[in-house]
């Protein structure tokens, strides 16, 4: 699963809030599905904000970790969260069409046997006007980060990775796929352009976030990010 780390999670929070503000009324209480939620950083954040959140997770160990984190939340927040056992390909088995306003899949497509079918399943459970948020590894820039770190063997191996694998999760492939399932791309961002970890000092961390957030909207910087945050709108 993609691991955006602390920096990536903070960037995702800002980007998600921007997209949610653009798609919904400020006081609307949203139905959120987090597919492959991992530790549930965004799920808990959105539940604290008043939204009803369903987490879909196949790994029992990760479900247990999430449940421990959830147990530390106030009762009001806990009451807004539901956890379901299942993977990214199981949305049709658990949820009705149009059941959610926001669907997050921040890494689940990487594990899917058939990303196209999985993507269609994610869109199917979105209501009209709903937001689909995807986080994928940026296979076209895999050599950037080991190269910066001086790991030349890893950088060399990464250079031809997309050609060897024929990745179905490239931006242009997903853009076509989203259009084909009635959830066209609205915005995409780079996540992790200059680094993956926030400095310990909060003032420096905030400056780094400001730079990353700005660069994550701009070409060519966002094209060499470690991950891509891709947002589509159902019926939009």
Contacts of 61 by beta carbon, 8 Å cutoff, 6+ apart: none
Task: Work out whether the CA dihedral 84, 92, 34, 1 comes out positive or negative.
Answer: positive
Distance CA 101, CA 104 (A): 10
The tokens 């492939």 sit on which residue? 173
Task: Fill in the DSSP letter of residue 37.
Answer: -
pLDDT band at 67; cut points 50, 70, 90: very high
Report the chain's mean pLDDT, rounded to a whole number. 92
Domains of the chain: which residue ranges? 5-138+166-233
Residues in the chain: 236
Average pLDDT over residues 213-232: 96
Q: Is the pLDDT of residue 164 over 70?
A: no
Residue pair 231/122 in contact (Cβ under 8 Å)? The answer is no
Tell me: the pLDDT tens digits for 106-157?
988 887 888 899 999 999 999 999 999 999 999 888 888 888 889 999 999 8
Distance CA 217, CA 212 (A): 9
Residue pair 192/215 in contact (Cβ under 8 Å)? The answer is no
Residue pair 121/99 in contact (Cβ under 8 Å)? The answer is no
The class of domain 5-138+166-233 in CATH terms is alpha beta
Region of poorest pLDDT, from 38-42, 111-115, 176-180: 111-115
Nearest to 132 by CA among 232, 30, 23: 232
Distance CA 15, CA 149 (A): 27
Residue pair 87/111 in contact (Cβ under 8 Å)? The answer is yes
Task: Work out whether the CA dihedral 203, 205, 210, 215 comes out positive or negative.
Answer: positive
Point out which residues pair with 188 in neighbouring strands. 230
pLDDT of residue 195: 79
């Amino acid at each position: 699963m993609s691991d955006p780390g602390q920096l990536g999670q903070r960037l995702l929070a800002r980007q998600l809030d921007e997209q949610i503000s653009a798609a919904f009324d400020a006081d609307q209480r949203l139905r959120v599905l987090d597919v492959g939620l991992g530790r549930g950083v965004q799920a808990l954040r959105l539940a604290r904000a008043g939204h009803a959140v369903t987490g879909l997770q196949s790994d029992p160990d990760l479900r247990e970790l999430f449940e421990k984190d959830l147990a530390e939340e106030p009762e009001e927040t806990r009451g807004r969260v539901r956890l379901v056992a299942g993977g990214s390909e199981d949305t049709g088995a658990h949820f009705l069409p149009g059941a959610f306003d926001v669907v997050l899949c921040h890494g689940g497509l990487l594990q899917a046997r058939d990303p196209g079918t999985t993507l269609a399943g994610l869109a199917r459970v979105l209501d009209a006007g709903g937001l689909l948020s995807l986080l994928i590894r940026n296979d076209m820039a895999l050599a950037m980060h080991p190269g910066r770190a001086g790991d030349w063997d890893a950088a060399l191996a990464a250079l031809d990775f997309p050609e060897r694998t024929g990745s179905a999760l490239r931006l242009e492939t997903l853009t076509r796929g989203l259009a084909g399932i009635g959830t066209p791309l609205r915005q995409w961002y780079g996540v992790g352009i200059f680094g993956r970890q926030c400095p310990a000092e909060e003032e420096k961390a905030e400056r780094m976030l400001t730079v990353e957030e700005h660069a994550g909207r701009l070409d060519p910087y966002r094209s060499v990010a470690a991950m891509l945050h891709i947002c589509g709108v159902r019926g939009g």
